[in-house]
Amino acid sequence: MTDELDPPVRDLADIPAVEVISRAAVMLMSSAAEKLGLAGEDPDSGAGVDLDEARRVITALAGLVTASVEYLGPHAGPIREGLQALQRAFREASSVPDAPGMGPGEKYTGPVH
């Protein structure tokens, strides 16, 4: 017997690749925002900021987006914009910003200013 409030479980084989990639990108974006301290009630407080972890997640996101952009169709633009916003937020949060082209994920996306 299933609970009517539980959403139906989908077989991973039935989920289109674009949806899997988009969901992974959104999860990475959310993680990066958390690690940059952007998701808290007071983003200016600096609580929960972990720039080392944010760098890793943003770089992983950049690699995913770069490798899969041809498959994302209309989703590519918003995901790229989100990635660039996170890269700029990282630069702003850093006490010593990386040189252009050396920030998280910029080896995949090119310099973000």
Domain boundaries, position 76: 18-36+49-109
Residue 8 included in any domain: no
Task: For residues 55 and 42, give the distance between their C-alpha atoms in angstroms, rounded to a whole number.
Answer: 21
Residue 23 included in any domain: yes
Residue 28 included in any domain: yes
- Single pTM value for the model: 0.85
Query: Residue 65 has which token pair?
Result: 């987006």
Alpha-carbon distance values, 83 to 61, 79, 109 (Å)? 7, 6, 9
Residue 2 included in any domain: no
Residue 54 included in any domain: yes
- Total count of domains within the chain: 1
Rg (CA), the chain: 16
Residues 6+ apart with CB under 8 A from 98: 91, 104, 106
Residue 44 included in any domain: no
How high is the pLDDT of residue 44? 61
CB 44 within 8 A of CB 92: no
- Can you tell me whether residue 34 is helix, strand or coil? helix
**Angle at alpha carbon of residue 105, lines to 15 and 83, rounded to 5°:** 55
Write out the chain's pLDDT in tens, 113 residues.
Answer: 556 677 777 788 899 999 999 999 999 999 999 999 998 776 566 667 999 999 999 999 999 999 999 999 999 999 999 999 999 999 999 999 899 999 999 999 999 98
Query: Residue 43 has which token pair?
Result: 């983003």
